[in-house]
Chains A and B, each alone.
Chain A
Amino acid sequence: MLEINNLKAYIDTPDGIVKAVDGVSFSIKAGETIGIVGESGSGKSVLAHSLMQLNPKPPVFYPQGEILFEGKNLLQLKEKELRKIRGNEIAMVYQDPMSSLNPVLKIGDQLMEAILTHNPMTKSEARQRAIELLTDVGIPDPKKRLNAYPHQFSGGMRQRVLIAIALACNPKVLIADEPTTALDVTIQAQILELMKRIQEKYGTAIIIISHDLGVIAQMAEKVLVMYSGRIVEKGNVEEIFYQTAMPYTWSLLRSLPRIDSEAHERLLSIEGQPPNLMNPPSGCNFHPRCPFATEQCKLVDPELTERSADHAAACILSEAEFEEAKKRIETKDQERGQGHD
């Protein structure tokens, strides 16, 4: 339904061109959930906004690639045609519910705006639909709440309203850009549950973007790991989590706190900073931070290569080499850990 081919989204800044999204390809079918993980600055938000063509132009431009939605390339559509898709066929849930609602408009007006933009309805019909939507996302006493302003809602409630806005026209694709990052853990679970329930009810395809592997594991069937504007590993959730084939993914997973770890154990982090996308390192973008990096990695920029049917990774190490290197590092860590005790 939605197919992205070799998409590039660059940002033209006074200091040079930032390659925020640099040749990303994937596709999603109805009812499917794809998770995109990556740290801050990996280009996942620019990618998400590209799918709605919501990046400000300028400074963002698209030198290459296509975003095919039901056969139409969004990159070539006129603004007027794009508007018919935005909020109607593809909708988005945003990162920060506290600032994503207009503070001077009533919840009902913001919700009805989303409905009336794409549906020829009377105001009272739209009102009825707004009440339905608020009920759907679990807001109690929706009739009364229509007249409330955003500041009278908590963060979790505001995210529910934003989800209701996104669902206003029964979109085929729902893009959720870090939908739970600004929320606390219990509310996070509720919001994720809500999104799953809505997917089951309407068959919506969901693209969920997060830096939180827990959220991805809970929601997604397929995972794309992004690093410096590219996909460095993609596969099913099980493959990504248990048959990791790319050092970056492996480092990300290792940096997660584990429920069975001792309280005094230090969390592992990935050394260094994400690369400067204006002036990326030679060879593999991850090599300056990669614990397995060899001389070869400074020279060769690895392609995304298939490991099994749906699983692909961008690394020059073979499966056997990677396994051996992992073992080496893990034993070294254990020795160091014991030394500290």
Chain B
Amino acid sequence: MLHYTLRRLVAIIPVLFIVSIIVFMIIHLTPGNPAFLILGEDSSPEAVEQLEQQLGLDKPKVVQYVDWVGNIVTGDLGASIYSEQPVSEIIGERIGATFSLMVVAMLITLLIAIPTAIFIVWKRNTVMDPLFLSGSLLGTSIPEFWLALLLVLGLGVAIPIFPVAGYVPISEGIGDWLHHLLLPGLVLAFVEIGLIARMLRDSMLESLNQDYTKTARGKGVKESTVLVRHVLANALIPTTTVIGLTVAGLLGGTVIAETIFTIPGIGQLLIDSIHRRDYPVIQGVVLFIACVYVLVNLIVDLLYAFLDPRIRYD
């Protein structure tokens, strides 16, 4: 297990290297002079030159890259051009909201998707299955922003059960925190529920036809035990990959949800920074999101080993 973990960790290094290059290039691949873009059209050449020096844009690109990576490794992501606050600090302030939103969305997804899949597989020979298939397709096809607006209108304005916007940190009460996050969480979860439930249903049906399922039935165990202990336990292995990708995908989805529900998170920060052409912050946020992706994938790999003993002892 230790060996496996180490191997996975080593495999991350080249990924992070490539990610860092791409993020670094953001500033150079956008058309036009970054310093000019930041300062605006009326800026004087002197001011542009001064900003270029400040940002280090006058040095060769390789040197810039090495400096930049060197700073990142020591935890220095640079400072915002707009507020001059360190980028790591800005991200630190925003991460709580985004993370809360992701946790709530993921919990809603799993709490609905897994029982639904089990139920559908249990009722596989009834009309429930085709109903579920079209339902999950519909769920996956609904655009997030549309659903978000619909939910705000329905459950925020017409029947005001939930607040239409805002965020309360968990430190100010878990009830209030959850109350504010349920609607945006539901919006994010909606697309994923259909996807994960569908994936789990397919894996379960496949596992249902395996010989070990027959062995379990042959022992005389209850159908519910067969479905959960034997079928689900095996079907979760391929589904974990999709769940991992979902977690990472949620991070992208938060951009929309945070904007509509005005939640001060990473997604909103990214949008604001793009509007302000605040390159250090954009780079910092994109790098951060990429790292979360990588981290989630690592967790999925380790979870795999936990779920599947064949991997553990390799």
Contact = CB atoms under 8 A, between A and B. Distances in A.
A84 interface: yes
A91 B308 contact: no
B309 A91 contact: no
A92 interface: yes
B3 interface: no
Contacts, number: 80
Contact of B214 (A88, A94, A110, A113): A94
A63 interface: no
Interface in B189-226: 210-212, 214-223
Nearest to A55: B214
A100 B308 contact: no
Contacts of B229: 105, 113
A83 B212 CA distance: 17
A61 interface: no
A118 B220 contact: yes
B292 interface: no
B125 interface: yes
A167 to B, nearest CB: 12
B230 interface: yes
Given A83-B220, A118-B220, A100 B215 contact: yes
A104 B207 CA distance: 12
B212 A87 contact: no
Nearest to A92: B218
Given A58-B125, A102-B234, A104-B234, A96 B219 contact: no
B219 A87 contact: yes
B313 interface: yes
Contacts of A151: 309-310, 313
A105 B221 CA distance: 15
B219 A113 contact: yes
Nearest to B221: A117
A69 interface: no
A110 B233 CA distance: 13
Interface string A49-77: 00010100010000000000000000000
Nearest to B213: A102
Interface of B: 125, 210-212, 214-223, 229-230, 233-234, 237, 307-310, 313
24 contacts: A82-B220, A86-B220, A92-B218, A95-B211, A100-B215, A102-B215, A102-B216, A102-B233, A103-B212, A103-B308, A104-B233, A104-B234, A104-B237, A104-B307, A104-B309, A105-B229, A105-B230, A110-B215, A117-B219, A151-B309, A152-B313, A162-B215, A165-B215, A166-B218
